[in-house]
Amino acid sequence: MSLKEKTVLVAEDDNTSRLLVKLILERNQIGCLEAKNGDEAIKILESQACDFLLTDMQMPVLCGLGLIKAVRESEKNTNKPQLPIIILSAGVEDMTSLLEQYSINGYLTKPVFEDKLIPLLQDIER
């Protein structure tokens, strides 16, 4: 399945990590919107359509978990379909319970590599 013409919102406070993901997406002709924290991400989601959300867990203003909770609550209140969410994490903590509890589609450890990100997006898109 082609990811061309899809848009990914990347919520990541670290400029280098955000730039790396943006370069991977653009190289694969996937649109990229950027947010430096969860609050910025919510504002973008309120005004623009996105096909995926990639979020760091530890960000200022509103953390990744707060963002995920807000997105899932909004979807429930508006009967919107669930936005596919991928967690970006620097740690190796067990994500299994979070994935299930918040219907998260996957997670990647940082730094993000193209050979992990693109296949994950393709799997979710199927």
Strand-strand pairing, 31-35 and 106-109: unpaired
- For 40, the enclosing helix (H) or strand (E) is helix 38-47
- Give Cβ neighbours of residue 107 (< 8 Å, ≥ 6 apart): 86, 87, 88, 89, 95, 99
Examine residue 75 and state whether it is found in any structural domain, yes or no: yes
Examine residue 1 and state whether it is found in any structural domain, yes or no: no
**Distance between CA 71 and CA 44 in Å, rounded?**
12
pLDDT given for residue 27 in this prediction: 96
Strand partners, 86: 54, 106
CATH (domain of 98): 3.40.50.2300
Against a cut of 0.75, is the pTM above it? Answer: yes
For residue 94, pLDDT over 70 is answered with no
For residue 13, pLDDT over 80 is answered with yes
pLDDT given for residue 2 in this prediction: 79
Examine residue 84 and state whether it is found in any structural domain, yes or no: yes
User: Looking at the 3D structure of the chain, how many domains does it have?
Assistant: 1
- For 19, the enclosing helix (H) or strand (E) is helix 15-27
Condensed to tens digits (0 to 9), the pLDDT of residues 44-68 reads: 999 999 999 999 999 999 999 999 9
For residue 21, pLDDT over 70 is answered with yes
pLDDT given for residue 93 in this prediction: 64
The residue range of the domain holding 50 is 7-125
Examine residue 78 and state whether it is found in any structural domain, yes or no: yes
